[in-house]
Structure 1
Amino acid sequence: MFAHKLSALAALVPAVLAAQAPAFAPAAVVPTAASNNYTGVSNGTLSNSPVVSGKAFDRFIQIWLENTDYDDAANTSAFMALKEQGILLSNYYAVTHPSEPNYAAVVGGDFWAMGDDNYYQIPSNISTVVDLLEAKNISWAAYMENLPTDGYQGFNYTSANYLNSSAPPYTFYVRKHNPTILYDSVTTVPSRLARHRNFNDFAADVNASAIPQWSFITPNMEDDGHDSSIDFASDWLQFWLTPLLTDPNFNDDKTLIVLTFDENDSYNINNRVYTLLLGNAVPTNLHNTTDPTFYTHFSALSTVQANWALGSLGRQDTNKTVSNVFAFVANATGYQNLDVAEADIPLTNLTGVYNGPLNPNQYVPFLAPNMSAVGAGGGPVFVASNLDQSLTTANAPAPVNLTALNETVPSEVTTTASAPGPSGSGSGSGSGAVHVSAMGTASAIAFAGVLAALCMTL
């Protein structure tokens, strides 16, 4: 009898949660309008350098949603409609769990063995895609919905709940979903820090035709599906992205838009995420087609490098197994992708098991990148002015379990309280904000090599 009542109660839980979940409501009248719901006021429009022509596109926009299994997205009406306008990348994978390491990886070429969603400041001698773009005078920006002020570096931010005026304030913005803010090589340069902007800035930039050539766009914690659902995120896409696809100030003739997810929601399966290539740079004959090539978040780096003949970071962006260039871009640039057989696709759903400088259980210092690597753009590996190239994979020390020794990574570590309200940590999130400001050089532990080593020890 007791078991029967318990089962009946469990069956009611989804219905109760669904009743409590907020319904989607747009934060602004239209995507190009300013709104008090976006928290921060606009800081004017961006001033960008002249357009640098690319071989397949002149503008690259990434839009990331949250924590959704491939099939759940594929069966949503908004994604089915958008697929008709672009290319489905049916074999695209996130690189780890939980959320934050994926964001760090997509701009830095590595996630440094990070296995949580804590507060990180990755050292200033660790380069990112920003270094590669600025070396060629290619403009860039990060647009974060509900970012309170341009360049805000806090762990999260709580503001009025525009979805429910009778509810307490809500944490709509989190640092962990803002990839370039994680790197001191970006935030310690004032002109770079100022390019972290909110959606009021975005509206101003679209209206002024000032969207830069490379953009990363993160909706808030409800609109990206993290604290809501895939249906909620789909409603946001129909409100926000669908009309912008017809706005030439956003989607001009040479704009490529990557719509994807940071990770899937099921840790027990490999980390495939639903990904679409949209925008007018996609050839019309490829609309509503499927590309089965194996890609990961590192492919966003290699694709940009190939398009503008950039240098590389000498990390996973140059590991051909995990950094194939999007096929239509590879064809336009003459880049030869690697044919990765289904049986050879690495497991990318592993969490906290990699050797690296941000894993106290398997700590290895930051290492120099592979300085002899050649990326998809053909240019040299970017070398930061304060980069020590002497510590490499060839002479790296063995991993150390600092946790077992009751030690932390050799860095300045402090704990700060997060803002009030639900921080909405993703699966596996830490509860506090750990400030890591380690000094060292960039990690070049090969992704596939780490996986192989792990398999040998199991």
Structure 2
Amino acid sequence: MSPASLLSTVLVAAASVRLAAAASAQVFSPPSKGPLVQTANYTSFSNTTLHDHKVVKGKVFDRIIQVWLENTDFDVAGSTPIFESLSSQGITFTNYHGVTHPSEPNYIASVGGDFFGMADDNMYHIPSNISCVVDLLEDRGISWATYQENMPGVGYYGYGYTQANYINSSAAAYTYYYRKHNPLMIYDSVALNAERVKRVRTFNDFANDVVNGTLPQWTFITPNMVNDAHDTTIDFAADFLEYWLLPLLTDPRVNGERTLILLTFDENETYGIQNTVYTIALGTAIPVNLRGTIDDTVYTHYSMLSTVQNNWSLKSLGRQDTNASIASVFDFVAKKTGHKNTPVAANKVPHFNLTGVAGGPLTSAHYVPFSAPNILAKGAGSGGVHLNKGIDLRLTEAKLPAPVNVTAHNTTTPWQMSPETTSGKKVIPCAEAKCP
């Protein structure tokens, strides 16, 4: 057996053991009486609501809701009845990919156009001069928020949160929330901004905002560690979707006119195969004649960015969101806007199952500083490349120094923090300007 085959066999076996253990450990229990009913199981009740009544019209959709699940192979999700049912209501993307492994780099890539070399789930922060989708949305006055299940309060900065086990009150406390699945909180331009951080919200806040009719136009939603299948199974997540998502699909306050709902996974479970994840485009924005169809265009998490940019004529981030071969605009959108995607032959599709081989500022093994975006890049929107204040345009990718293993110097990347850190203060010795 080849080393690659052996590795794949070991990974599959390990995954099977994890899934078996998870399946025997927990059975789905609704955290609330319904998805729009606040609950003490989410630690804190919502005492604020957003005031987002203005609607910036898009070319194809006026609202996008992204719902992320965890670590499931395409075929496993596709064989689950609820995904079969949801696929009949929308467009199934059969060639949609996570961009790397493990979880956290996929999350930050989906909102920032790069995973910056990150190859683990440690606690990081990304400096304020690095732009993300929020900068693009606010340029056009488009409202946004992220909703995180079991995050204990608005703008919580900690690495994780452990609370009473609401599924089994006699069991030990459980860590339902982890920051690694909350991508906007990893960007200092959001987390350290007093106004923006109010839009990093909880599921009780989601219920409050929906009931008050102030759900934003761009939302990113992460269920907790059991409901997203991370610590459990796809069947457990399916029960959650029946409880939470299905009622919302028929609620006009959520799935109102011209709403796109994207249900996806961060990555697949089996690292030895292509990182294809089951993804469905749902909602009223999906043309009736396309419901129940498939789309085999090559997409990645960067396509979320390019599609939003194309729909609202936004600037780009000048990163992988402008890489036409891996950031195609969703086809049903592109056909309406006149955008031309770049076809990718089957034998030219990149293999998206990287595990720690890319250099970047968020890896200690192959550290390089953050580079400036490519200001000449052409995105799917309009208006050029967005630049945050303080970015050094001289530090282009071509001028970066060679990657350095800073762990050999008894330190880590300057953007990694201790899990005990609850503020934006860096607590490690290597400063960006002084890293080897």
- Alignment partner for residue 418 of structure 2, among 409, 415, 419? 415
The answer to whether the 8 A contact 1:159-1:170 is kept is: yes
Residue 335 of structure 2: aligned partner: 331
Asked if 1 retains the 8 angstrom alpha-carbon contact of 2:98 and 2:352, the reply is: yes
1:403 aligned counterpart, secondary structure: helix
Shift of 1:412: 6.5
2:46 to 42, 48, 51: 42
Runs of 4+ in 1 over 6 A off after TM superposition: 12-16, 433-438
Q: Structure 1 residue 146: deviation in Å?
A: 0.6
Equivalent pair of 1:49/1:137 in contact (CA under 8 Å):
no
Question: 1:436 Cα deviation (Å)?
Answer: 10
Q: Mind listing any 5+ residue stretches in structure 1 that lack a counterpart?
A: 1-9, 420-432, 441-458
> CA deviation digits over 1:46-92, x for unaligned, max 9?
11251000000000110000000000000001100100110000000
Partner residue of 2:231 out of 217, 224, 227: 227
Report the alpha carbon displacement of residue 17 of structure 1 after superposing the two structures with TM: 3.1
Picking from 79, 85, 88, the partner of 2:89 is 85
In 2, distance between residues paired with 1:402 and 1:15? 35
What residue number does 1:448 align with? none
For the residue of structure 2 that corresponds to 1:171, the secondary structure is: strand
**Residue 123 (structure 1) aligned to one of 115, 120, 127:** 127
| 2:220 counterpart SS class | strand
Aligned length: 416
Q: Return the alpha-carbon distance in structure 2 between the equivalents of residues 32 and 319 of structure 1.
A: 38
2:321–2:327 contact (8 Å) kept in structure 1: yes
Matched residue type, 1:102: N
Aligned counterpart for 1:101 among listed residues 100, 105, 108: 105
Q: Does 1:240 align with 2:270?
A: no
Per the alignment, residue 260 of structure 1 pairs with 264
Aligned partners of 1:15 and 1:111: how far apart in 2?
A: 27
After superposition, what is the alpha-carbon deviation per residue over 1:100-158, rounded to whole angstroms, capped at 9, x for unaligned?
00001000100000011011110110000000000000000000011111000100001
Q: CA deviation at 1:308?
A: 0.1
Query: 1:275-424 counterparts in 2 under 5 A?
Result: 275-409=279-413, 411=414, 414-417=417-420
CA contact (8 A) 2:63 2:260 kept: yes
Counterparts of 2:265 and 2:223, CA distance in 1: 12
> Do the aligned residues in 2 keep the contact of 1:269 with 1:349 (CA within 8 Å)?
yes
1:132 equivalent in alignment to 2:136: yes
Question: Which position in structure 2 is the counterpart of 1:186?
Answer: 190
**Per-residue deviation, 1:13:** 7.2
1:25 is the counterpart of 2:32: no
Q: Provide closer, same or farther for how the CA distance between residues 161 and 404 of structure 1 changes in structure 2, counting only shifts above 3 A.
A: same
- Which of the residues 157, 162, 170 maps onto 2:161? 157
Change (3 A) 1:412 1:351: closer
User: Deviation of residue 312 (structure 1)?
Assistant: 0.4
Deviation, 1:347, is 1.0
Query: Do the aligned partners of 1:122 and 1:182 also contact (CA within 8 Å) in 2?
Result: yes
Q: CA deviation at 1:414?
A: 4.6
2:116 to 112, 118, 123: 112
Query: Quick one: structure 1 residues 336 and 265, their matched pair in 2 at CA, closer, same or farther if it must change by over 3 Å?
Result: same
Percent identical = 56
Q: Compute the displacement of 1:14 (Å).
A: 8.4
- Equivalent position SS for 1:194: helix
> How far, CA to CA, are the matches of 1:335 and 1:436 in structure 2?
47
CA drift at 1:408: 2.6
Aligned equivalents of 2:327, 2:69: Cα separation in 1? 21
Alignment of 1:208-219 (within 5 A): 208-219=212-223
Matches of 1:270 and 1:434 in 2, distance apart? 37
| Distance (Å, rounded) in 2 between the aligned partners of 1:21 and 1:388 | 50
Q: For the Cα contact (< 8 Å) 1:67–1:264, is it kept in 2?
A: yes
SS in 2 for 1:122: coil
> Gaps spanning 5+ residues in structure 2: where?
1-13
Deviation at 1:43, TM superposition (A): 2.7
Q: Distance in 2 between matches of 1:389 and 1:348?
A: 29
Which has the larger displacement, 76-85 or 36-45? Answer: 36-45
Q: Secondary structure at the match of 1:151?
A: coil
Give, as a single letter, the amino acid of the residue that structure 2 aligns with 1:289. T
Tell me how far 1:356 sits from its aligned partner: 0.8
Q: In 1, are the aligned partners of 2:22 and 2:231 still within 8 Å (CA)?
A: no
Do the aligned partners of 1:120 and 1:436 also contact (CA within 8 Å) in 2? no
Distance across 2 between alignment mates of 1:48 and 1:130: 15
Native 8 Å contact 1:156 1:418 kept in 2: no
Q: Deviations over 1:314-343 (max 9, x none)?
A: 000001111000001111111100111111
Structure 2 partner of 1:274:
278
SS at match of 1:60: strand
- CA distance in 2 between counterparts of 1:238 and 1:437 reads 47
User: C-alpha distance in 1, partners of 2:131/2:31?
Assistant: 35
Counterpart amino acid of 1:25?
A: S
TM-aligned CA distance change 1:390 to 1:330, over 3 Å: same
Check 1:310–1:217 CA distance in 2 against 1; reply closer, same or farther (3 A cut). Answer: same
> Does the Cα contact within 8 Å between 1:43 and 1:150 map onto a contact in 2?
no
RMSD of aligned C-alpha atoms?
A: 2.1
Rate the CA distance shift 1:116–1:72 in 2: closer, same or farther, 3 A: same
User: AA paired with 1:90?
Assistant: T
Paired residues of 1:259 and 1:275 also in contact (CA < 8 A): yes
Q: Deviations over 1:301-322 (max 9, x none)?
A: 0000000000000000001111
Work out the CA distance in 1 between the residues paired with 2:365 and 2:408. Answer: 7
Structure 1's 93 and 439: CA in aligned 2 closer, same or farther, altered over 3 A?
same
Aligned letter for 2:288? Answer: T
Question: TM-score, length-normalised on structure 1?
Answer: 0.87
The correspondence of residues 419-438 of structure 1 with structure 2, limited to 5 A, is none
Residues 1:344 and 1:417: Cα distance change in structure 2 (over 3 Å): same
Note closer, same or farther for the CA distance 1:414–1:297 as it changes in structure 2 (3 Å cut): closer
Q: State the Cα distance separating 1:404 from its structure 2 match.
A: 3.2
